Structure 1
Amino acid sequence: MEHNTGGNTGGTARHTEVIDVHLLLRRGDTLLLSRRRNTGYADGLLHAPSGHVEDGEDVRQAVIREAAEEIGLVLRPADLRVALVMQHRGPAGAPRVGWFFEAWLDADREPVNAEPDKCSELAWYPLGALPDGPGQMVAYCRAGIEAYLAGERFVLHWHEPDDPVDHDPSRPDRVVPLPAT
Structure 2
Amino acid sequence: MSSLSPRHPKRHTEPVDVHVILRRGGEVLLTRRAGEVYASGLLHLPSGHLDGPHETILDAAVREAREETGVLIDPAEVRAAVVVHHRSPAGQARTGFFFEARRWQGQPHITEPHLCSDMGWWPLDALPGGMVAYCRAGLDAYRAGRYFATHFQHPGDPIAHQPGPGHRLALLPHTTPQHPPPAPAADRTLP
Relative to the length of structure 2, the TM-score reads 0.85
Q: Distance in 1 between matches of 2:36 and 2:121?
A: 21
For 2:140, give the aligned amino acid. Answer: E
Is 1:15 matched up with 2:9?
Answer: no
Aligned residues: 172
Deviation at 1:155, TM superposition (A): 0.6
Q: Distance in 2 between matches of 1:131 and 1:138?
A: 11
Which residue pairs with 1:45 in the alignment?
42
Work out whether 1:33 is the aligned partner of 2:30.
yes
Q: Which has the larger radius of gyration?
A: 2
Are 2:44 and 2:132, in contact at CA under 8 Å, matched by a contact in 1? Answer: yes
User: What is the aligned partner in structure 1 of residue 182 from structure 2?
Assistant: none
- The structure 1 residue matched to 2:94, chosen from 93, 96, 106, is 96
1:1-181 matches, within 5 Å, as: 8-12=4-8, 13-55=10-52, 56-105=54-103, 109-132=106-129, 136-170=130-164, 172-181=166-175
Say which SS state the counterpart of residue 139 (structure 2) adopts: helix
Match of 1:3 in 2: none
CA distance in 2, matches of 1:96, 1:160: 14
Q: Any idea what the Cα deviations from partners look like across 1:115-144, whole Å, max 9, x if unmatched?
A: 111000110001121113xxx100010011
Q: Name the CA distance, whole Å, in 1 between partners of 2:49 and 2:36.
A: 13
- Residue identity opposite 1:41 in structure 2: Y
Distance in 1 (CA, whole Å) between partners of 2:3 and 2:38 is: 34
SS at match of 2:23: strand
Please tell me the residue identity of whatever aligns with 2:27: T
Q: Check the 8 A contact 2:82/2:148 in 1, yes or no.
A: yes
Unmatched 5+ stretches in structure 2: 176-191
In structure 2, the residue corresponding to 1:116 is in which secondary structure? coil
SS of the counterpart of 2:150? Answer: strand
TM-score under structure 1 length normalisation: 0.90
Letter in 2 for 1:119: C
Which amino acid is 1:73 matched to?
V
